[in-house]
Structure 1
Amino acid sequence: MARNEGVYKRPDSGHWWINATLPNGKRIRQSSGTADRADAEAYLAKLKLDAYRETHFGIKPERTWQEAVIRYLELKRTLKSFSDVQRICRHLDRYLGDASLRQINGDLIWSVVQGELKKGNKPATVNRYLATVRSLLRMARDEWQWIDTMPKIRLLPGEVERDRWLTREEADRLIRACPPHLAALVRFALATGCRASEIKGLEWNRVDLSRGTAWLNHTKNGTPRGVPLNEDAIEVLEELLGQHPRFCFTYQGKAIAWELTNSAWHAALAAAGIQDFRFHDLRHTWASWHRQAGTSCDELKDLGGWKSRVMVDRYAKYATEHLAVAASRIQRLRDENVVNLVTFSSRPKEKRA
């Protein structure tokens, strides 16, 4: 028997449920999210009113910041940095939690900036919050069609870009100071630019030493990619053959399940005389070495698995080969027998008698 339209109770739920056909023809069967019948009926009335206004007047229903956050987090759930996204959205709730998406304007964004700066946060921290708001609003506008416009959100100036990488000599010192299992991780990171999580999760069935290739299925952006292995990377893996049936990098016969920036890491840094250096900075070192060796930004983007050039362009400053000719234009002449034609041609001609 067909259920009558309206709100109803289900034996397996404490909430009232909705069964209705909206004015736009859409059929809905969903929880009202409340155990109060009056609230459930009011919610159904709002859904019908929003659908009517959208159908007949082109007015989109009001959507809240919290509704948008729920969908946004669901889409970001597969990211390695999902916990950070959750933390940022939870933090923003104190500023935007009661607002609808249409109410988020320049003044409300400014309240986020002012509130965070007053707490002593640096521009880099505030920019993480602003970037998340901008990303969510763009998705609500361009993909979900929940809003037609959004405020222009500019990131704060003054953010200092981290520029920490090792010289070859420093890298050798660090490797010598590391215990064997950590030295293997460091050497592989410097040879491939892989992230810590990618290295820890690398399995032998995804490595082909004869072809010099590894395939990563757990990457930061969720996109599997192939990694070409140079001789340094192959040498590391050959040394680890037979130590574990599944994982390439292990410690005392077990897979590495902890963060690599631990006491062993800090002890190795101290022994090598290296300060202010994180394991992820090995990836920055690898990218910097590549650019200094002449690898193009497009090649580096593919090698490192970046989806766009934005992150790669930060390393452009390390390559100067294309400016060598320009730099030589004002250098002093080393051969005194060579006539400086520019100087010669610029001398005033002597007047004939």
Structure 2
Amino acid sequence: MSLFRRNEIWYASYSLPGGKRIKESLGTKDKRQAQELHDKRKAELWRVEKLGDLPDVTFEEACLRWLEEKADKKSLDSDKSRIEFWLEHFEGIRLKDISEAKIYSAVSRMHNRKTKEIWKQKVQAAIRKGKEPPVYEPKPVSTQTKAKHLAMIKA
């Protein structure tokens, strides 16, 4: 277990009992805070390895971490859009409480969000003009869109 600094940011290096080495940024310039984060992470890894006790991580926390790790990805904007969809369904839920059935249920109820945005704009325009607003008819998404969303949550 070690702490080291690159430029101004502190990093940690851990060796798991299985021999796997993990190096990660602690995202801080303060050595004291870096030491606290290092110790906390070390304790979490020990609990997972020895006790099988997975940490309580919410879906939002996992999404934030995923976005930080994939910050250099070219298709990050598309991924953010997909994350918005998943947050509508799993916001505030712990990762261990999200089941395969819940995921497939969310995907089966998927509708084109862009169509709904356009409909909302048409409703506002109709209200401004004093006309009757149009009825919303949800447009189903393609199988490919569903597959992309499923691939995103599996990653």
Residue in 2 aligned with 1:228? none
Q: Look up the SS of the partner of 1:18 in the other structure.
A: strand
Q: Please list the CA deviations of residues 261-311 of structure 1 after superposition, one character each: whole Å capped at 9, or x if unmatched.
A: 879x948x95xx841127xx4xx29x8xxxxxxxxxxxxx6xx63789xxx
SS of match in other structure, 2:22: strand
Larger radius of gyration: 1
Q: Which of 34, 41, 45 is residue 35 of structure 2 equivalent to?
A: 41
The structure 2 residue matched to 1:31, chosen from 22, 25, 31, is: 25
Please point out which of 131, 142, 152 is paired with 1:305.
142
Aligned Cα root-mean-square deviation (Å) = 4.8
Closer, same or farther: CA 83–8 of 1 in aligned 2, 3 Å: same
Task: Please name the residue that 1:19 is paired with.
Answer: 13
Extract unaligned runs of 5+ from structure 1: 90-128, 141-146, 151-194, 199-219, 221-258, 288-300, 309-353
Deviation of 1:78 after TM superposition, in Å, equals 2.0
What is residue 2 of structure 2 aligned with on the other side? 6
Residue 275 of structure 1 is aligned with which of 126, 132, 137?
132
Map of 1:50 onto structure 2: 44
Q: What secondary structure is seen at the aligned counterpart in 2 of 1:9?
A: strand
How many residues are treated as equivalent by the alignment? 122
In the superposition, relative to structure 1, how do residues 62 and 34 fare at CA in structure 2: closer, same or farther (>3 Å)? farther
Alignment of 1:88-167 (within 5 A): 131-133=89-91, 137=94, 140=95, 147=96, 149=97
1:285-300 aligned at under 5 Å gives the runs none
Determine the structure 1 residue equivalent to 2:152.
Answer: none
Q: Secondary structure at the match of 2:38?
A: helix
Would you say the 8 A contact 2:59–2:91 is kept in 1?
no
C-alpha separation in 2, matches of 1:77 and 1:10: 28
Q: Deviations over 1:170-228 (max 9, x none)?
A: xxxxxxxxxxxxxxxxxxxxxxxxx7969xxxxxxxxxxxxxxxxxxxxx9xxxxxxxx
* 1: CA distance, partners of 2:20 / 2:56: 17
Q: Judge conservation of contact 2:59–2:90 (CA < 8 Å) in 1.
A: no
Select the structure that is richer in helix. 2
- Structure number with higher relative contact order (C-alpha < 8 Å, ≥ 6 residues apart): 2
Aligned to 1:85: 84
Q: CA deviation at 1:6?
A: 0.8
